Structure 1
Amino acid sequence: MTPEQKLADLGLELPEVPAPVAAYVPAVRTGNLVYTSGQVPFAHGKLLMTGKLGAELTTEQGAEMAAVCALNALAALRSEVGDLSKVTRIVKVVVFVAGEPTFTDQPKVGNGASELLAQVFGEAGRHARSAVGVAALPLDAPVEVELIAEVA
């Protein structure tokens, strides 16, 4: 089963790649690695949620938004390589979490992205990860996700 078929089985489809909001491209390939730019939780051309974790948003909402970010990162990845069947491994995921100063559940928020990638790619979706708390993200997004993938 292809990654796109697994996404369909999950009731998901890859969105159009969100247009960059500054001077960058959605993904860059060098050799057999593809690096995506940070993706925020856009769907249908708008940011799904804004605000800080631990203040306006719950950890569960943050994890949901991280999954949306990961879906957008997969769309950027596919735009660079043509189809997700070329992915041999998700190597690294970085999750940025905008939270109030005492919020410390960044790893739980990051699980939203990590669990989606494991569902789509199986063992090849298991990756190294950093989940980092930040004071603010572009457009007041609660979460931003970037990834590095190895491709054939």
Structure 2
Amino acid sequence: MSGAVEAKLAELGLTLPEVVPPLAAYQPAVRSGVYVYTSGQLPIVEGKLTLTGKVGAEVTAEEAKDAARICALNALAAVKSVAGDLDRIARVVKVVGFVASASDFTGQPGVINGASELLGAVLGDKGVHARSAVGVAVLPLDAPVEVEIQVELND
């Protein structure tokens, strides 16, 4: 089933990917009442990590921002896997982004803007959210960025 949200993705030249299979013992998303919580999503496209390394060293902030967009798309796919239809999203409540950072890199908010801007472009006012952008030493598979989202559904 696809509706207005997936039509907006298409209008933006984007396609909702398949859900990224779990890399360990967890589910890509779970529903609790009217909320869906995604696991951290990496910038994986067609089963492959798009880039590796630390932001501010091997990865530029702009490359990482693009990777955060991919993470947000993967998160939307995870939401759809338990909600059935992205048009059921009432709002994105929270985004948490982790950035594998070189010791002197302090631009984590700009990197996670990739995810936030994508959610706003796709969902409009429903995509406005609270957010945390956290610098970390390393992420799974040496990914430069990881994003999780929490959404409220219309029920």
Shorter-chain TM-score tier: over 0.9
Partner of 1:99: 101
Task: Select which of 6, 21, 25 maps to 1:4.
Answer: 6
Does residue 24 of structure 2 align to residue 16 of structure 1? no
Q: Deviations over 1:65-100 (max 9, x none)?
A: 000000000000000101100000000000000011
Partner of 1:126: 128
Q: TM-score, normalised by structure 1?
A: 0.99
Query: C-alpha distance in 2, partners of 1:23/1:57?
Result: 28
Residues 40-55 of structure 1: pairs in structure 2 closer than 5 A: 40-55=42-57
Residues 2-151 of structure 1: pairs in structure 2 closer than 5 A: 2-151=4-153
Number of aligned residue pairs = 152
| Structure 1: runs of 5+ lacking an equivalent | none
User: What amino acid maps onto 1:88 in structure 2?
Assistant: A
* Structure 1 residue ranges (4+ consecutive) displaced by more than 2 angstroms after TM superposition: none
User: 1:27: how far off?
Assistant: 0.4
Q: Deviations over 1:8-33 (max 9, x none)?
A: 01111111101100000000100100
Q: Secondary structure at the match of 1:29?
A: strand
Query: C-alpha distance in 2, partners of 1:10/1:52?
Result: 29
Alpha-carbon RMSD across the aligned residues, in angstroms, is 0.7
| Structure 2: runs of 5+ lacking an equivalent | none
Q: TM-score, normalised by structure 2?
A: 0.97
Query: C-alpha distance in 2, partners of 1:32/1:125?
Result: 16
User: What amino acid maps onto 1:89 in structure 2?
Assistant: R
Q: Percent identity?
A: 62
